Structure formats: C-alpha cells, structure tokens
Amino acid sequence: MLFFRNDYGQGCIEEILSLLKEINYENITGYGLDPYCNKAKQLIKNQIPDLDVDVHFLAGGTIANQTIIKHILKPYEAVIACDTGHVSTHETGSIEATGHKVITLENNNGKLIPEMIKQCFDAHMLSYEHMVYPKLVYISNATEFGTVYTKEELMKLRDVCDELGLYLMMDGARLGQALMSSVCDYTINDIAKWCDVFYIGGTKNGALFGEACVITNPNLKSHFRFNLKQNGAMLAKGWLLGVQFIGLFENEHYFKCAKHANDCSKMIQDELIRLKYPLYMKSDTNQIFPVVTKEQFNYLSSEVDFEIWDKRNDMIVIRFVTSWCTKQEDVESLIQLLQKAVDLK
C-alpha cells in the first residue's frame, strides 16, 4: 500500500543514523550539556547571524508548545491562536491543562490576521481583570493547511504585537517546508527578528524526533531550563536530540529534505488540479487536501494510506502528506490511481 498518511512515518535520514552508530558507545554528559548539543546549537545559531539567541532541544511539538507557553505566560494570561492551530485542536487541551486559556479566532487560509488580533485584544480590555489578559500570539508556519505566511504578513503581525505589547510565537513543526516553498521570501534569520520565540521542527523533516526552540527575546531567556525540567521535557540522554540537528544542519539536509517533500507534493497537487479534483485549500507545502466522492474515497483507500480531514455532505476531504522519504515511483503510482478514480461518481 502507498503511504501518504504523514511526514513522520519513517525513521530518519542516513546522516543521523550514521552519527548515532558512531557515538553509540561513547560516555556522554547528560541533560543537553554535551558537545553534540553544543555543536547543534552553534549550527542553528549560524543561521541567525544578526541576533544573539538561546537554543534548547525538546522531543516533540506538543511538549514544545506547552513548555514555551507555560514559560512565557503569567497565570492570568492567555494565548491567541486561530481555530485550526495545533494548540487549539490536536494537543488534548495541553495548554489549558497548564492553566492558560487559548483564545481561538477564525482562520484565514489557516492564518491569523492582525485586524482580528486587535479586535480580540480590545474586546478583552473592555472587562479587563474580569477576563484573561491576551499576551501571546501563536501561529504555525507552515500552517495546518499547508499554507505559508508571507514576509509582509509576518511583518504586520510583528507590528500589531508591538502595538499591543504581545509576544509572537511561531510553531515551526513544518518550518522547513515553509522556508522551501515557492511563496517564501525570507530566512530563519528574518524569522528570528520577527518572533520572540519559535522552534525548528525536526520530527516532520527527516529526524527521528526533536524540535529546536529558539528564544530571541532577552526577557524570555532566563530560567527556561527550569521549565524544561518541570515539564518533563529535559532528556537525560539529551545528546540524542543534538545529534538530530547536527545531521539536519551540518550539510543543509534540513532544507534538502523539505524541498524534496514540497516537490513531491507539487507534482500531486498539480495533477489533482489538472484532473479537476476540488481542493479544500491549495497548499504551498507538503500537505494536500483533495475533496473526493465516497466512491473515489473507497477506491483510493484500498490502495493508499491517508487521513480523512473532514466530511461535508456526500464529499470527503482527505489529506495526502509527502516527506523526505517519499519515493518518486510512489508519487507516480498515486497519480495513476487518481487518474483512474477521477470518473468514479
């Protein structure tokens, strides 16, 4: 069966496996205070020459979001996110479990827009201490719909956050795919200038696991490791995380993996458009959302492993995801199946 269910269904790139094998019997300091984590941090800092940043490694996206937001917010403060944001939907209320409300706003192609943030903030100020205080804006890039923020959109978000005194956080679980998309006109260095904190996702881009949290705002740097430990996010074998990012960034495999995933996705999406399949939303990255009939769904699901994203009347929104590991022949096989399914009603 063809696999297009997600971008974390395989192990990792060969460079990471080779390095793990090479150091497997070494005696290494724990808790991220080792030479491999230090090297990985420096490789990431090399991508951000204009700022002095702190880098911390965490195992996955949910624990990264929870730890970062818990670290930033006071007990009465809240995070603003769109209704499709990961913290709003697929994290089992992890932010609320720490005592912080997630204020959800309607998404615009998976994105937050400054005008809605301003309206939300002003509405909360009317009742002031009788409501939570919005203090952090959370965005995903790429978004959960595979769309990507433009430079202009990010700069406007930064402006409204400065105007209202809000922090800006970017969930970068698929940041590599965003950076390598055709609509992206900025770098990691630029993101560091616009965001108070963001993270670089490895789990969904060629690593076994791991996210690299980058703190740019000096006011947020102090004592972050205390929250890492309290949240269960500090690994004893922390060097395992460092190795992931050495493998990804030493020879730019992070960008190569993301570009491959995007290129495979574009081939599939272009064919869907040519065949006149409806799209739930046009994607800029490695997630594709075709809308199919029940007959098409039944045919495709017998040959392809994918996710159901939504159901609308008699139509089903499905999601195909490509990855660093997607083979060209699998893309071609999926395209052939889509061609056969197009006339099924």
pLDDT per residue as tens digits for the range 208-235? 999 999 999 999 999 999 999 999 999 9
pLDDT at 313: 84
How far apart CA 281 and CA 262 sit, in angstroms, is 16
Last residue of a domain, one of 252, 277, 295: 252
| Residue 293 and residue 207 in one domain | no
Are residues 48 and 105 both part of a single domain? yes
Q: Taking the mean position of all CA atoms in its chain, how far away is CA 157?
A: 18
Instruction: Check whether 343 has a pLDDT greater than 90.
Output: no
Domain that holds residue 241: 14-252
- Return the structure tokens found at 60: 């996955």
Confidence of residue 312 (pLDDT cuts 50, 70, 90): confident
Are 317 and 242 members of one domain? no
Residue 248 and residue 269 in one domain = no
Separation between Cα atoms, residue 81 and residue 88, nearest integer Å: 7
Quick count: other Cβ atoms within 10 Å of Cβ 255? Answer: 16
Token digits of residue 169: 């956080």
- Examine the domain organization and report whether 163 and 284 are in the same domain: no
**Average pLDDT, whole number, for the chain?**
97
Last residue of a domain, one of 226, 252, 278: 252
Q: Return the biggest CA–CA distance within the chain.
A: 62
Q: What is the pLDDT of residues 44-72, one digit of tens each?
A: 999 999 999 999 999 999 999 999 999 99
Same domain, 109 and 39: yes
Distance CA 302, CA 300 (A): 5
What are 80's two structure tokens? 């603003």
CA distance 98 to 225: 17
**Strand ranges across the sheet with 133-140:** 54-58, 211-215, 197-201, 167-171, 133-140, 77-82, 102-105
pLDDT confidence of 344, banded at 50, 70, 90?
confident
> What pLDDT is attached to residue 340?
96
Last residue of a domain, one of 252, 270, 299: 252
pLDDT tens-digit map of 237-283: 999 999 999 999 999 999 999 999 999 999 999 999 999 999 999 99
Could you give the 3-state DSSP secondary structure of residue 14?
helix
CATH of the domain at 134: 3.40.640.10
Task: Count structural domains, the chain.
Answer: 2
**Do residues 296 and 333 lie in contact, with contact meaning Cβ atoms separated by under 8 Å?**
no
